[in-house]
Structure 1
């Protein structure tokens, strides 16, 4: 073999090796780099759960407490019921926007491509400020900003959009809306505490006074009902705790994602995002188990 032929073979082999390395770096789930951990974090965030159920529970407070209310308290309870129902759709719209954002982020970090445009139509017509609920103008502005971002990205078929630009453009609004969801969940918890005191308080007052022989069966039934209601509230309290933990994890995870946009392929960043995803899945399993 001539020296020229050997040199040619070496040059071709070197070129093929370079092409293989280049292609090897482009076959991952997110384009040129593997963004598996980003996708898994976004999926876990979108599927967290808990908030929807607790929002419905907040809305339906009057239905549960009405049989236990004294006649004089019913008028005020009805007024509060009307206020809760008036803001319910706004509370749900906040969650829908964040879920759609996380679904979009997951798509950008993965191979799959499917149409999310129908979800845009389900977001509603915007939020209204409500001093009693805690929704403020900055929450409304964040909602408007995020829905406009989602509309642009989804309507364009995700063209010229990457995980990096999506997170960079959306993080500020995402953080404000997650803060709103955390505040609303605390509002739900406070409302539930008042309901618990109203309902269980009746038994705490009335049961010690029921001592007559003829009331024995009634007292027994009341005690059983009391224990069932106490167990229900204990379970719901745990769901509030898990929901707050989950929302806080989503906020922290997205903040870390924003801070490490240029280091998403580094092992420590991938491990960190993976751990956030695992924590969120564990919280979701806890909510489902309850």
Structure 2
């Protein structure tokens, strides 16, 4: 075995050193991407508000007149019919974020059950602002997720996932924001129905024999008013969270070729922190 001459040895060492520097310098840290994707997937708020929207009639029913009850039952049937579709949009976005987190991390686990749990499709809904572009985006994203997960993530990276999924993710987040605004509008109508009875009836309940009932009614009114104030805050927080997810993913898409830069990593990390703060506020009520 021949020993390398000093000059050749020095050249080899320099080559290895430079090669190592190039490799480390070219490595893209995915920690911030993973944290952002995890925070996006676990944001919460939308699912709870979807259930509240679905159950509107259960809360309204004790306060309705017979005539108003008939209309409310019709509206209830419509809400029950679209509930699963509205939730399916969230499931698709959450599954995308979970997949993105997987690609940005070292672990691997099976998400095929989540693919199976996605809905069959969407229907246009003018009241909720769901149109053909949202239907197409849902179809496109579910097909992408099915391909990626079924293939075991082969030939798939964070960059290609974000590049292929961004347009559909942005469109579905737009739909979720529009639907959340529908939830808010429905809640406002419910609030007017429930609190309106007290506003109309209490001023005329001034007989001494009504004193106990009036007192109980006032306590109930105050409790319901506080409930609606708290839920209004949750709508605001949910909208902030969805907007933050959309902006964070947009910035990720815009900087796919610069993910190793400190300023980009810091920016993506800030979106993850903001989302965790919003999630904590939603969890705290």
Bin for the TM-score computed over the shorter chain? over 0.9
Give the equivalent residue in structure 2 for 1:114: 109
Deviations 1:111-139 (A, max 9, x none): 11111111000002111122233221111
Distance 1:142 1:93 in 2: 12
Count of residues in Structure 1 that have an aligned counterpart in Structure 2: 282
Superposed structure 1 runs of 4+ greater than 4 Å apart: 22-26
User: Is it true that 1:92 corresponds to 2:64 in the alignment?
Assistant: no
Alignment of 1:3-42 (within 5 A): 5-18=5-18, 20-21=20-21, 24=24, 32-42=27-37
Give the equivalent residue in structure 2 for 1:233: 228
Distance 1:132 1:252 in 2: 25
Distance 1:16 1:72 in 2: 83
Alignment of 1:187-206 (within 5 A): 187-206=182-201
* Contact 2:112/2:149, CA 8 A, preserved across alignment: yes
* Contact 2:44/2:279, CA 8 A, preserved across alignment: yes
- What secondary structure sits across from 1:107 in the alignment? helix
Deviations 1:171-204 (A, max 9, x none): 1111110000000000000000000011001111
User: Which of 236, 257, 275 lines up with 2:252 in the alignment?
Assistant: 257
Distance 2:43 2:70 in 1: 37
User: Which of 51, 59, 62 lines up with 2:57 in the alignment?
Assistant: 62
TM-score, normalised by the number of residues in structure 2: 0.95
Alignment of 1:1-290 (within 5 A): 5-18=5-18, 20-21=20-21, 24=24, 32-290=27-285
Distance 1:172 1:180 in 2: 13
Task: Give, in angstroms, the shift of residue 22 of structure 1.
Answer: 5.6
Distance 2:164 2:6 in 1: 53
Pairwise CA RMSD: 1.4
Task: Give, in angstroms, the shift of residue 19 of structure 1.
Answer: 5.2
Deviations 1:176-234 (A, max 9, x none): 10000000000000000000011001111111111111111111111110011001000
Distance 1:132 1:195 in 2: 17
Deviations 1:218-277 (A, max 9, x none): 111111100110010000000000000000000111111111111111111111111111
* Contact 2:127/2:182, CA 8 A, preserved across alignment: no
TM-score, normalised by the number of residues in structure 1: 0.94
Unaligned runs of 5+ in 2: none
Distance 2:213 2:232 in 1: 28
- What secondary structure sits across from 1:37 in the alignment? helix
Deviations 1:4-29 (A, max 9, x none): 84324423432442454366468xxx
Task: Give, in angstroms, the shift of residue 96 of structure 1.
Answer: 0.2
Task: Give, in angstroms, the shift of residue 140 of structure 1.
Answer: 0.6
Distance 1:257 1:172 in 2: 12
